[in-house]
Each structure stands twice: as C-alpha cells, then as structure tokens.
Amino acid sequence: MITSPDNEKLKTIRKLRQKSWRRKLGLFVAEGEDLVGAAAAVEWPAEFELRAGADVEPELLAEVSALGSGSRVIGVYRQRWSEPHGRLSVYLHGVEDPGNVGTVIRSAHALADGPVILGPGCADPFSPKAVRASMGSLFARPPARVGDPAELPGRLLPLDAHASATLHEARLEAPVVLCLGAERAGLPAELAAEAVRIPVATDSLNVAMAATVALYEVANRMAAHA
C-alpha cells in the first residue's frame, strides 16, 4: 500500500498532467472504472494501475487526480497512434480544445467506427480532458496524426459553415475523410476548396457537434449505398 506522496508512481501520474512529460515518457493517464475497463476490453495493458484502498491511500490517489472527480482507480498507459484508415474518418485541423478532440474521437467511433486524424495545432488527445471526453473510444480507436493535410488519403470532404454547397450534394466515394477546422480560424486554404456546409444548421454549431452531425449523415448515406 502506497502511503507516501513521494512514491514514484504518484510522481509519474502528477507529471503526466503536463504535455511535455506525456511526450517525453510516451505515457498517459486514464481515470475511473469506465476508462480502465475500456482499455482492458481492447487488451491495452496498463504500465501500472492504482486502486484506492488496495494499492494506495484514497487521499493520495485523489490528490494526483487531474479531474478532481475522486477517481477510485487510475491507470497509466503507453500512448498508441494508428495510421489513417477506414471507410469514413475525421481530420481535425487546429482544434485546440481537448474536450472537442475527445468528443470527436468518441463520435467517429460511435457513428463511423473510424479514427480521428489530428493535424497541426490540435490538442493532445492523451491529455486528461481529451481522454475523459473520448469515454473509452480513445482505446478502441486510437487517433492518427499527419504533419500536413496534403498527406491525407482518400476523398477529402471539408466542412465550412459558409460554403454554398451542402453535405447532401457531396459525392461520397470511400474512403471519405471529413475535414474540420477550429471554430474561428477554420480550415487552411488548400482544404477549403470544394467545402460543403451542414444543411439546416446555423453557423453556431461547435466543431464537435458539426463533426457528429456530418459523421451521422455520411455514415447513413454510405450505409444506404453499400
């Protein structure tokens, strides 16, 4: 039983709140039974797991929690990235909010069974907030990354709230990559050509909601034509 805050495992968990340490160690933290269970479900082994009352004093575990939610279990995992793949996936460009990144990872898994591909300027998908927002989909469908959108494979389908064409008019030939930018900055110019907008929506959907709706629409149409 760990009874000292100076324990090395607790120190590691504290460090992993910081992106620089996550990058250096190649590790990340998942808090709570749901997430630790999601890792186990896909046989993604923990480097170590700490359970309150069994492995560590509950107060000490609460102290290292990044989420302040009184987690009863914390697991530390080695990061994994996938390659872009799948009939339908999502590319995010410059999406800085970790909650949005995690939510889109969850939506892409739930609606398209596909991964999210992260481009420049995106939040770290292994940050505590992104991991929590993904609700385990991070383990089921680890994200991919590209340094330049030119590397993206397949038919790119950029979304832009101000485009004149709508998603209904888009040609869908698998593999399709839905491309979304940050809410204000949008997509880079080379991706903004041939963009479509989400019908019936005003421009006030956030990037996670826009991705979710577009995934739903495209997954439905691809399923109908499969």
Question: Residue numbers of the site for a copy of itself (CB under 8 A)?
Answer: 103, 106-107, 109-112, 135-137, 198-202, 204-206, 208-209, 212-213, 216-217, 219-220, 223
Nearer to a copy of itself, 60 or 127 (CB): 127
Is the Cβ of residue 12 or residue 206 nearer to a copy of itself in the bound state?
206
Q: Give the span between the Cα atoms of 139 and 207, in whole angstroms.
A: 22
Question: CB of residue 72 vs a copy of itself: minimum separation in angstroms?
Answer: 17
Shortest Cβ 7–a copy of itself spacing (Å): 29
Shortest reach from residue 103's CB to a copy of itself, in Å: 7
- Looking at the Cβ atoms of 31 and 217, the one nearer to a copy of itself is 217
Question: Residue 183 CB, nearest distance to a copy of itself (Å)?
Answer: 9
Give whichever of 55 and 113 is closer to a copy of itself, judged by the CB atom. 113
Calculate Rg over the CA atoms of the chain.
Answer: 19
